[in-house]
Chain A
């Protein structure tokens, strides 16, 4: 992506007859960022549409079908509705905490997609420690969520914030242990190198199947999707820690949820399902096919299972997933030592 935006930037600067290398560099990155933002937003819109239609079909009903042909413009209609609503700050709420946590959560979620490559030649940045960086950024959110829950001046939001932080922190441990097992087998933290390793040997979903299952459950809990949406328990806590956010702020939180779903599905595809490998189609098409297949798996899980209770959430995280993740890492070490992979 750097090269594409570099050409655009140099074209613009040459048209304006400015020759200043620093400005060229800056403008390149600005254009690349805007391009990334556009790609993420388009992806999220398509993702929300896919979720609503597929969730409908899982539940023996149609998704949206009135607005636009086959309901394509429903998301835009909902976005316009959010835009015309009043943005409310509750009376005794902490304004700084309320608004800044929104910025932190949205920005950190968008940042994750920046370190996830989509094709061998199509990435925003591909750092050598990309895997660790992605999960470090994932871990910023619990911190911001509890501040958002407290800043809303609402005891239900506070409870939702506590539950959310507890859940996210508990599920990060098996998540990271599984990720370490993948890095152990592949020998690197770089996403592109992990995919190349899978192309050469075998998709890691085979040998590390337990790790795949643990990663699937843990990433659904990290993203706060159903069945793990206890912090967002709509029957109990109105909307958890997001209750007091009105209008556009609520829309941005929904956007963030889907950006994190996309990022989680993308990381799962890159780590376990062979990334962009596939027979005939170009790499980026295979990447998106796999990401949407994983997302369909998320939607399937959402459409079938009831919500996990708050005491069961922590039990599953610490007592079931953590031992499985440790078994998985032992298996990975055995595979690596025996030289099979």
Chain B
């Protein structure tokens, strides 16, 4: 019978604490009292229109296809290519926030988004905009970095890039001699002109050999592709 006494003692202690000894029960008197939320709480999405570059990374990565790009007024008469949000489809996974290169998306602390009609929750870009002060500070832009060991010089990244950032450069001295005596083509590597790059990551998606990755960069100066070194054998 002793096994019945310990739970009864615990609940008696709870009763005394919540009723007589002045403690409060664990219940929150919502809506008068609201729960304290952490900084990285994943609530409703907000768009910082000034930071959006129109790269469509968020629309591509969204698992539920909530974000659809459209032209909209960014507040000062300038039309920008920005995402429209369908909040009813959103599953609050946070992938779009992670992948946005210019830190234009932020998940706010607002969770009271209930509605009677799910078609009310399709927001134009200026309707779900937030001010830059409400969003975290901008992270440095990521740019594609090459892993030379994987690169085969196929040029898929050059064909995928919409802004003419990539230029395939032949490396002198890497041509191999074929068995019939002629000289084969030289190996090519991509050269990036980072000043034109908008961090859309289409080149990373296109590379079949996992040779590219988006990493933050402190400078937009290009890396040298051709190293000056002695070529001893052909």
Mark A298-323 against chain B: 1 for CB-CB distance below 8 A, else 0.
00110111100000000000000000
CA distance A59 to B4 in the complex (A): 16
Taking a contact as CB atoms closer than 8 A, the residue among B8, B17, B26 that contacts A61 in the complex is: B26
CA distance A304 to B14 in the complex (A): 11
Taking a contact as CB atoms closer than 8 A, the residue among B7, B12, B14 that contacts A305 in the complex is: B7
Contact B27 A61 (CB under 8 A): yes
Given contacts A62-B25, A62-B27, A65-B29, contact A57 B8 (CB under 8 A): no
Taking a contact as CB atoms closer than 8 A, the residue among B4, B15, B29 that contacts A58 in the complex is: B15
**Total interface residues on B, using CB and 8 Å?**
15
Instruction: Give B23's nearest chain A residue, CB to CB.
Output: A60
Mark A48-72 against chain B: 1 for CB-CB distance below 8 A, else 0.
0000001011111110010000000
Instruction: Place the interface of chain A in its size category.
Output: 10 to 19
Most chain A beta carbons < 10 A, residue from B4, B15, B17, B25: B15
Cβ contacts under 8 Å, A56 to chain B: 25, 27
Contact B29 A59 (CB under 8 A): no
Instruction: Give A65's nearest chain B residue, CB to CB.
Output: B29
Contact B11 A304 (CB under 8 A): yes
Contact B18 A60 (CB under 8 A): yes
Contact A304 B25 (CB under 8 A): no
Cβ contacts under 8 Å, B232 to chain A: none
Contact A60 B26 (CB under 8 A): yes
CA distance A57 to B24 in the complex (A): 9
Taking a contact as CB atoms closer than 8 A, the residue among B4, B10, B18, B29 that contacts A57 in the complex is: B18
Distance to closest chain B CB from A299 (angstroms): 10
CA distance A54 to B7 in the complex (A): 16
Contact A59 B7 (CB under 8 A): no
CA distance A118 to B12 in the complex (A): 29
CA distance A304 to B15 in the complex (A): 11
Cβ contacts under 8 Å, A60 to chain B: 14, 17-18, 25-26
CA distance A185 to B19 in the complex (A): 39
Given contacts A62-B27, A65-B29, contact A300 B18 (CB under 8 A): no
Instruction: Give A53's nearest chain B residue, CB to CB.
Output: B19
Question: Can you offer 25 A-B residue contacts whose CB atoms are under 8 A?
Answer: A56-B25, A56-B27, A57-B14, A57-B18, A57-B19, A57-B25, A58-B11, A58-B12, A58-B15, A59-B11, A59-B14, A60-B14, A60-B17, A60-B18, A60-B26, A61-B26, A61-B27, A62-B29, A300-B8, A303-B11, A304-B7, A304-B8, A304-B11, A305-B7, A305-B8
Instruction: List 10 additional A-B contacts (Cβ < 8 Å) besides A304-B8, A305-B8.
Output: A54-B15, A56-B25, A56-B27, A57-B15, A58-B15, A59-B11, A60-B26, A61-B27, A300-B11, A301-B8
